[in-house]
Structure 1
Amino acid sequence: MSAPKSIATLRLDGGVLCLDFINTIDNRKKISTCDYLNNFKELLQWYAHTGALSPKIIHTLERLAKDYPQKAAIVFEKSIVLRELLHRLFAAFMSGKNPVATDLVQFNSYIGEAYANIEMAWQAGTGKLHFNAPALEQVYWWLVKSAAELYTSASPAQIKECPACGWIFMDKSRNGSRKWCSMSTCGDVDKVTRNYQRTKRKKP
């Protein structure tokens, strides 16, 4: 029996924050699948799992969500809309196609909101971008920043979709030959399946 799926055991195979966020659907090749994110609290748990936000910021957002539960619910829904929007944008990106015009307009509205709230800080002799006030919307602002940076710096050949589960990942291998989100999961399943099919064909 396989272990129950949870955020704590969720693999981070995307290689980039925004791609890991897209991959919070367990298997995009199946109609019935596990969604790891069902509310704002679980979204913060995912951030803690990735290490993308500090415990201090997460604690602040937890307090804000408790004080403003309706707003937290709206922000969560907007985050999930962003997740599916990013999936469509990167699917088009990988295929070398232009994004759907309405998707681009929608993403630009996210960019406008996020970058209106970003500022430069100077820490330990270097500049660092951060959001200028604690806000529940930070949970999708960071994802917008990650996606915009990846979308404008990567080549289509670097972003790939796992043929087994539909997860999207950045291929950082030296020769660009990575095929699976993870060789220990989808890669192994494919290997076992191919071995079974070969054995089956050999039987009289």
Structure 2
Amino acid sequence: METIWTPHRFSGEVLALDVANTVVLRDDPDRRFDRFEQADEIVRFARAATAFRAEEIGGNTLVVSDPSGAKPRMVALRETTDALFRDASVSGAIRSERLAPLLDQCARALEAAPVMFAAGQAGLRAGQGTIELEAAVAVSALSLLAPEMQRRIRICGNCGWLFLDRSRNGSRVWCDMTVCGNRQKARRHYRRRRDDEGRTVDA
């Protein structure tokens, strides 16, 4: 089934975290699923990311020239990205044993599809035309190693997705307030109502 790549599915705030979040319910083996299971879905993701991450990618166009060949590399890059930054969000530190695999995957992606970095800022230089998705994801992941980016990486309190907290005071709890925030509010309301009804019955 095709994924509808809505704004919510780009709640990571940066391309690398959006890709990490293509695994849904990562910590629930019974319900976990992978939006990149079909190689063609990676192509559709690239098209959507071209629009949703236009500023980060310098207005270039993301492409996947060889979907079947790119899939194992994209999955490997995604998993090393998630492992490193999920652990860093919890521990508050970058572990070398998690950094090395990510750097290896980034090096492979950039060697296979060279790109130009923007001068003086994180991201890709404009005017390159088309850029392979895995190269763009590698650049995005590397940008997250900067201390000012790293310390703003959070894990959503509802869905477990990774996101970059761009709020002024760094206090975001949800990847998407309109989806995850509202779901948590609804759960709290239901629990309060159930508890109130229970107390009424006991009385």
TM-score range, shorter chain: 0.7 to 0.9
> 86, 89, 110: which one pairs with 1:91?
86
> Does the 8 A contact of 1:26 with 1:33 survive in 2?
yes
Q: Secondary structure at the match of 1:176?
A: coil
Cα distance in 1 for residues equivalent to 2:167 and 2:92: 21
Give the share of equivalent positions with the same residue, in percent. 26
Cα distance in 2 for residues equivalent to 1:93 and 1:74: 30
Post-superposition Cα deviations, 1:5-52, rounded to whole Å, max 9, x if no partner, equal: 714336211110101111112222422233211233211110111115
Question: Which residue of structure 2 aligns with residue 74 of structure 1?
Answer: 69
Question: Which residue of structure 1 aligns with residue 17 of structure 2?
Answer: 19
Give runs of aligned pairs for residues 55-134 of structure 1, distance below 5 A.
Answer: 58=63, 61=64, 64-65=65-66, 72-94=67-89, 95-99=91-95, 101=97, 103-116=98-111, 117-119=114-116, 128=125
> Does the 8 A contact of 2:109 with 2:138 survive in 1?
yes
Offset, 1:121: 9.0
Amino acid aligned to 2:94: N
Q: Secondary structure at the match of 1:41?
A: helix
Taking only aligned residues, the RMSD between alpha carbons, in angstroms, comes to 3.1
Question: Which residue of structure 1 aligns with residue 146 of structure 2?
Answer: 152
Q: Secondary structure at the match of 1:45?
A: helix
Offset, 1:179: 0.6
Alignment coverage as a number of residue pairs: 183
CA separation of 1:130/1:107 partners in 2, compared to 1, >3 Å: closer, same or farther? farther
> Does the 8 A contact of 1:119 with 1:130 survive in 2?
no
> Does the 8 A contact of 1:29 with 1:165 survive in 2?
no
Question: Which residue of structure 1 aligns with residue 168 of structure 2?
Answer: 174
Post-superposition Cα deviations, 1:116-139, rounded to whole Å, max 9, x if no partner, equal: 4234699xxxx927879x78xx32
Offset, 1:199: 1.3
Normalising by the residue count of structure 2, what TM-score does the alignment of the two structures yield? 0.76
Cα distance in 2 for residues equivalent to 1:28 and 1:144: 21
CA separation of 1:45/1:178 partners in 2, compared to 1, >3 Å: closer, same or farther? same
> Does the 8 A contact of 1:18 with 1:146 survive in 2?
yes
Cα distance in 1 for residues equivalent to 2:44 and 2:60: 10
Amino acid aligned to 1:49: A
Moved more, 162-171 or 74-83: 74-83
Q: Which runs of 5+ in 1 are unaligned?
A: 66-71
Offset, 1:156: 4.2
Q: Which runs of 5+ in 2 are unaligned?
A: none
Post-superposition Cα deviations, 1:47-77, rounded to whole Å, max 9, x if no partner, equal: 111115779663xx4xx43xxxxxx423211
Give runs of aligned pairs for residues 2-17 of structure 1, distance below 5 A.
Answer: 6-9=3-6, 11-17=9-15
Question: Which residue of structure 1 aligns with residue 28 of structure 2?
Answer: 30
Amino acid aligned to 2:189: N
Cα distance in 1 for residues equivalent to 2:176 and 2:23: 15
Normalising by the residue count of structure 1, what TM-score does the alignment of the two structures yield? 0.75
